[in-house]
Structure 1
Amino acid sequence: MDTPAQLGDFLRTRRARLQPEDVGLVAFGARRRVPGLRREELAQLAGVSVAYYTRLEQGQSGNASDGVLDAIARALRLSEDEQAHLRNLARPARTKRRAAPRPECARPATRALIAAVEGVAAVALDRRNDVLAWNPLGHALLAGHLDFDGPDRPGERPNLSRMLFLDPHTRELYPRWDEEARRAVASLRVVAGGVPDDRLLAEQIGELSMKSPEFAALWSRHPVHKCAFGTKHFHHPLVGAMELSFEAMALPDDSGQRVLLYGAEPGSASEAALRLLATLTGGRVPSGVAAMPAARR
């Protein structure tokens, strides 16, 4: 991905959402040709020269100091996630030339953990949202219309981002699809900013931009948010409406893999629906994965 271009797009979208009066400035000029703050107004707020800020926005200054980036972040009123994203784009990590990427896989311990979880939908994902493994409830919740063993075949692995925007079955799963789409794109932006050399991720973003006008429109707004936990609403074809909490737990390495867990509030109608869905899965365990032994009492 073109990191300098991404930096410029990000800064322009953040300038566009602020008006001079929002930040205590008096607007000058009878006609404003661009929405939001002008470059010179932002430079004034951040305490840098207009020429320097212009070079930064055009991707021509790769050595911006922490102080300058902090000042720009304050001027633009960036969130914590947005500040981290700004740093990633302004000072991308230098990486060595990499060999062609190999298909990722979930570690045996991760697969065993997912298989052992009961009453909770669990899915192992790579940073591109390819499904590496799931337990029966995770499969039933998110993709019961797909082959359970799909994650074991790298060329056929489900991808949650593609499913959300390109699979009509998945679209019907989310009654608040617009909200879920915004959340997905914001999270993908965070990942893309941290790994600008990921060719497969760049190809995925290009594919979604071409095939989904809705994805392309959201991507152009440059939303940024980690979305590591929260609540999602589902309307499952087998058990109906559910409100589930989710947690995305990053694995303790630099792979970018994470385990996504979905659960329901104890005693709620959603918990009853999730239990029913678990019953309907038949308790299947992936072949070759042994369940972890129960703890002794």
Structure 2
Amino acid sequence: MEVEGARNSIATLEDLVNEGTQVTICLRYSAEHWELLLPRVDSGGIVRFPEKDRYKSATTDTSTTSKYYSLSGRQMKIAVKGLMLTVTLGTTYPDGSVEVVSGAEGFLLKTLSSTLNFTFQAFLPKDQLWGNLLPDGSVTGIIGMVARREAHVAISALAMSESREKVTDFAWIFQNYPSLLISRSPKEKNKALSALSPFQLKVWLFLIVSVLSMGPFVYTISYLVNRYLTYDAQNDIQWYAFNMFRIIVNQGIFIRERSWPIRAILSFYLIFCIVFSVDFKRLEKYVIGILAFLTD
């Protein structure tokens, strides 16, 4: 746009442009001299092209972000629908507005208000609905308040849908967790002992003691049985200890006994080993993963 006649054109444009319209005016004085005029909405809701938001060609910093950190004390109309932990509402005032007391999005609205320098009034929808686009073209709820420009923004736990996006724009999605379980972060364990982590220390100690003691114990019982009940000749202690170890690692047993005391002891020991092997197989993949990590 040439400078001549631009002033009147800008004044006319300010009367025609609605909020939300993206307009940038470029005033050209010459090939090397020009100005950019960016729109701002004043505290009364009127679109203006203020002098302070003009950028000359000689200016090196053309960032517009800092220009919009303040809304100049403008009053915003907010459409709300109360929801526990999201937006908690309080007193209803004579003008129809309602007090925003607390809630995740209520605190967010108050923080934005103080940071961006604006005030707000919250209003409930007359139909008390979240809102949607109806087949006849009308829009209900807080979505309808925004679509009809009765409110600038709607806040609540709104779900995005295709029909709602036809009449409104949604902000960035964020997740609100009203309740969280927080625990202390785990410390890194000694890698040299990671292979023992499937069971507690007392379980490993009990297992080691049982394996080491079962061989001598069965040998002692076998010795007494063969001495007083005259069964077959007993095996030596190394043979019993070796077979007790074979049982715990699920490799079977080579002991052949006819005496009922030895068979009873071996039966209980076999049941113990079966229970242990079932639990160990359940953790087998975990143990293999630990060993693979240690050898990586």
TM-score, L = length of structure 1: 0.19
Larger Rg: 2
Determine which structure has greater relative contact order: mean sequence separation of CA pairs < 8 Å that are 6+ residues apart, divided by chain length. Answer: 1
TM-score, L = length of structure 2: 0.19
